[in-house]
Amino acid sequence: MLPAEIVRQVRRIQLTTGRQVADVLAGAYVSVFKGRGVEFDEVRPYVPGDDVRTIDWNVTARVGSPYVKRYVEERQLTVMLLVDMSASLDFGSAHRSKREAAVELSALLAFSAIHNDDKVGLLLFHRGVDEYIPPRKGQKHALRVVREVLARGQEDESAAQRLERQRRTLATLPRHVAARFWQLVRRSRHNRRRSTDIAAALEFCRRVLPRRAILFLISDFLADGYLDVLANANRKHDVVAVRVTDPREEAFERGGLVTLEDAESGARRLVDTSSPAFRAALEQAAAERADALAASLRATGVDLVTIDAAQSVVDPLLRFFRMRERRTRR
């Protein structure tokens, strides 16, 4: 059973985001993310009455008899939420943490997809693949997605509990997907790095999703070594990078001597926040990191949405939807 507090939070998120989806986001989502119309299904022998324009001349020449391409109507979309569960998302200097902002964003996207009768799935990751929920339709399934993101952000698992959860996940997956999931889980156990492995999450989705999907990669992107995999994933899927930030990661107020601790490595450093030189260096490093990420994503053709944990999650999402809609009209 889920703790009562988590159940209450899921209901609160459902009520809040449900109204936002119905009143604000639903139309914008539909106008941006549409089905592909028709999609190639198979090649079959020609029968009298078939449109000669559908003849596949390459196959016809190879086998010596006429074959035609068959297409099926494809309107439904698949939306995958790739959500970073690393410790750095626990940070928050305002009324909520970056993780709480990521939970609300995940709920908005999940309910928007379900409202449009699309499938939605979930991949939680940190040093490797943590949990995978295959894409499905329905309100109940969307609530499960939100519940898993919220619960994983609040629980402190032992190694045994984590192993048991991963085994339950394996039992729900097709054999070829389960084999890949277990391979990445084992690799993450032997990975002594504390940094976030975005590449493993993207590679997993690239391998297990047979058809093109919309991947929302939700992270603070405090990681390295994922850009090549991201570019490859974007060739097959439509990848949208959602960067979650906090104001104190970009600028510090004067507060005297402060001990800062890296949430993932545990390294500590004593800094003087009253020093103008320190604050200027922090702001410059943060700006350079943000600019470098934006430039790298532009080079790979991946759209970037920036979410400030201290501000509204809906507004930047709406701006992104409108930008995509204007671009598709050109």
**How many of the other CB atoms lie within 10 Å of CB of 207?**
16
Comparing CA positions, the residue from 82, 73, 81, 75 lying closest to residue 118 is: 75
User: Is residue 126 a contact partner of residue 196, using CB atoms and an 8 Å limit?
Assistant: yes
Residues 113 and 44 both lie in one domain: no
**Predicted local confidence at residue 14, as pLDDT:** 65
Residue type, 199: A
For the record, the structure tokens of 298 come out as 């532009």
CA distances from 320 to 32, 178, 313, 324, 326 (A): 9, 34, 11, 6, 10
Tell me which of 53, 74, 95 is where a domain ends: 74
Note whether 101 and 48 are same-domain residues.
Answer: no
d(CA 223, CA 270): 23
Low-confidence ranges of the chain (pLDDT < 70): 1-11, 13-24, 26-27, 30-31, 34-41, 71-75, 153-195, 328-330
Paired tokens of 277: 């030189």
267 and 159 in a single domain? The answer is yes
Structurally, how many domains does the chain consist of? 2
21 burial via Cβ count (<10 Å: 0-12, 13-18, 19+): buried
Q: Does 51 lie in the same domain as 178? A: no
CATH number at residue 87: 3.40.50.410
Give yes or no for a contact between 187 and 200, defined as CB atoms under 8 angstroms apart. yes
Same domain, 100 and 59: no
User: What pLDDT score was predicted for residue 178?
Assistant: 55
pLDDT for 6 equals: 54
Instruction: For residue 305, give both structure tokens.
Output: 């949405």
The pLDDT tens digits of the residues spanning 136-161 come to 999 899 889 988 888 875 544 445 55
pLDDT at residue 191, as a whole number? 47
Please give the pLDDT value at position 264.
73
Residue 143 and residue 286 in one domain: yes
The pTM is what? 0.75
Query: Do both 98 and 163 map to the same domain?
Result: yes
* Residues 67 and 129 reside in one and the same domain: no
Q: Is the dihedral of CA 219, 303, 36, 226 positive or negative?
A: negative
Range of the domain at 55: 38-74
H or E element in which residue 271 lies: strand 268-272
